[in-house]
Amino acid sequence: PVEIAPGCLWWSGWLNRSGQEALAEELRQLLLQAPLFTPRMPRTGTPFSVRMSNCGPLGWVSDVTGYRYQPSHPETGEPWPAMPLVLQSAWAELAGTPLAPEACLINWYAPGTRMGLHQDRDEQEFGAPVLSLSLGDTAVFRVGGTSRKDPTRSIRLVSGDALILAGPCRLAFHGIDRIMPESSTLLKQPGRINLTLRRVNPAG
Ligand code: MD3
Ligand code: FE
């Protein structure tokens, strides 16, 4: 792996093409059980351009009342589906912690969507890393420091790439500037899927 910022490790091509195809198919089935929803900004209710779902015991949701983790889908009320085994294995191999992942957020980026610079601070546990896997179209990913005004660096996240965000990077500002159209043939529709696996609560 390459360290693109302190604590931010990039594995280019971590998942091979057949692994990506199998995971994409598994997610297609999973999203029938836990459909993508449109999260909204706290207070204002402004919709995100990115659509989301989750798998695993907990899922991240956002609505007019705030950001939170919860055990069920905000629209269907059903428990989130189980985390696919390949994701649990990826965590075991890359995360370097004995704690199991509790949440996997599934972000869907249609062409033209983006995610502004932000910090991930809704978890109770910052000691464990976050693991990200990318599928489909290439994204321009930007990462900075723990202050919004710190300098940033950007890389292109390609289908199959993995990122580990640990240590000093765990609370770094980051975002997705753009999706590069027609950059991958993996998915049946244009766009990108990002999976982020997290520990939400401390052990015990
Ligand atoms: C750096 N997702 O879900 S993945 C998110 O591509 C999120 O969908 C982006 O930001 C996406 O919160 C970026 C890479 C990533 C994920 C979590 C991080 C980078 C991170 C947490 C801390 C620092
Ligand atoms: Fe984030």
The ligand whose atoms approach the alpha carbon of 152 most closely is 1
| Number of structural domains in the chain | 1
Ligand 2 centroid distance, CA of 201 (Å): 17
Query: Is ipTM > 0.95 here?
Result: yes
CA atoms of 122 and 38, how far apart (whole Å): 18
**Residues with pLDDT less than 50, the chain:** none
Can you give the residue range of the structural domain that contains 90?
Answer: 2-198
Q: Domain holding 53: CATH number?
A: 2.60.120.590
Ligand 2 centroid distance, CA of 61 (Å): 13
CA atoms of 62 and 47, how far apart (whole Å): 10
Alpha-carbon dihedral 113, 101, 132, 71, rounded to 10 degrees:
0
Q: Which segments of 35-172 are extended strands (E)?
A: 51-55, 59-63, 66-70, 103-109, 115-118, 130-136, 139-143, 153-157, 162-165
pLDDT given for residue 204 in this prediction: 83
Does any domain span residue 204?
A: no
Ligand 1 centroid distance, CA of 43 (Å): 23
> Which tokens sit at 153?
């660096």
Ligand 2 centroid distance, CA of 141 (Å): 11
Does any domain span residue 44?
A: yes
Does any domain span residue 203?
A: no
Residues near ligand 1 with C-beta < 6 Å? 105, 107, 115, 120, 130, 132, 139, 141, 143, 163, 165, 169-170, 172, 174, 176, 194, 196
pLDDT given for residue 114 in this prediction: 98
The ligand whose atoms approach the alpha carbon of 145 most closely is 1
Does any domain span residue 54?
A: yes
